[in-house]
Structure 1
Amino acid sequence: MRLTTHSDLAFRTLIFLGVAGERGATIPEISSAFGASEHHLRKVAFELVKLELIRATRGRNGGLALNISPAQVTIGELLRKLEPEFAESECLGAGQKGCVIFGACGLQRVFNESLGALFGVLDRYTLADVLDSSRGVAVRLGIEPRPPLM
């Protein structure tokens, strides 16, 4: 499986924000932690806000925070939202633009079955499961919990 850089950074952003908890994080913090371009991260954050997965607050104490409960969203659901064209190829049924054997070849069935198996596994795990199994992430990312704002 190969994710786009955009989706990979989106997943890492969601994990960062999940580990950060209520304290949230800023784009420069996340960018620095992952060695990612702030410009690219802004595009990712914009999409995550549009998908209502995170919320952005402007101003002095602003930043990004999760807008979802990590236990209520599966990794498969996240991937479908982040990569809506994930299964778009002729062999996976996206169209028959140039393949003269489309529909007659057994490869389409194999690819569809494997994609179903992939999402079957991804749908068994939530973002909370990923966060629970990522105990050392806060240390590696240098995340120190901030006290909640009053």
Structure 2
Amino acid sequence: MKINAFADVSLRAVMVLAAAPEGALLTTQAVADAVGTPYNHVSKALAKLRELGLIAVERGRNGGSQLTASGRRATVGQLLRQLDSRQDPAECQSANGDCPLITECALRHAMGRAREAFYRELDPVVISSLPHARQMAPVFRSIGLRPDFPVPTPGR
């Protein structure tokens, strides 16, 4: 199953915010740089994450975003369900016309069940538990942040 680009950016943004030092506010530009995605895309993702109550945003010169308690508990499955804008996983209905087989189609229902099984498999995966020091240390250095976790020394 493939997730859409918006969900991908949103998941990566939550991972970066989860790995940020306690109390750190990351600007939208810092998150965009950290996930290697254009500012406009990350800005829209952060707006949606705020709407969902997963991040808190402080405006102003020293402002930025950080995860809320709900954001720290959010799972991949929960977030993907909220971000999946596709009503029809098999695209039986489209602007070009509906599939002539749509009436009582067993494939359409099977695809819906498969999508839910995909999400169910991701329900136990807490997003904030995914980032780790070796992964995030170079990312944070690239955006000028010092992580508060120990950076592993190569060869140890």
**TM-score between the two structures when normalised by the length of structure 1:** 0.77
Unaligned runs of 5+ in 1: none
* Cα deviation, residue 94, structure 1: 7.6
Where in structure 2 are the equivalents of 1:64-103 lying within 5 Å?
64-70=65-71, 72-83=73-84, 85-86=85-86, 88-89=87-88, 91=90, 98-103=98-103
State the distance in 2 between where 1:68 and 1:80 align. Answer: 19
How far 1:11 sits from its partner (Å)? Answer: 0.8
Share of identical aligned residues, percent?
25
Task: Give the CA deviation at 1:76.
Answer: 1.0
**1:47 corresponds to:** 48
User: What's the secondary structure of 1:136's corresponding residue?
Assistant: helix
Structure 1 residue 25, shift from structure 2 partner: 1.0
In 1: Cα distance, 2:54 partner to 2:103 partner: 37
The aligned residue for residue 138 of structure 1 is: 136
Distance in 1, Cα, partners of 2:6 & 2:89: 23
Structure 2 match to 1:115: 115
2:152 corresponds to which residue? none
Task: Please give the alpha-carbon distance, in whole angstroms, between the structure 1 residues aligned to 2:40 and 2:83.
Answer: 18
Counterpart of 1:28 in 2: which secondary structure? helix
Alignment gaps of 5+ in structure 2? 149-156
The aligned counterpart of 2:126 is 126
Secondary structure in structure 1 of the residue aligned to 2:146: coil
Q: Could you tell me whether the CA contact under 8 Å between 1:91 and 1:111 is conserved in 2?
A: yes
Following TM superposition, by how much is the alpha carbon of 1:15 offset from its aligned partner in structure 2, in angstroms? 0.4
Instruction: Please tell me the root mean square deviation across aligned C-alpha atoms, in Å.
Output: 2.6
Could you tell me how far apart the structure 1 residues matched to 2:90 and 2:4 are? 20
- 1:63 alignment partner in structure 2: 64
* Cα deviation, residue 101, structure 1: 2.4
What is the alpha-carbon distance in structure 1 between the residues aligned to residue 76 and residue 121 of structure 2?
Answer: 9
In structure 2, distance between residues paired with 1:35 and 1:129? 21
Q: Distance in 2 between matches of 1:7 and 1:75?
A: 10
TM-score, normalisation: structure 2: 0.75
Contact 2:7 2:83 in 1 (8 A): yes
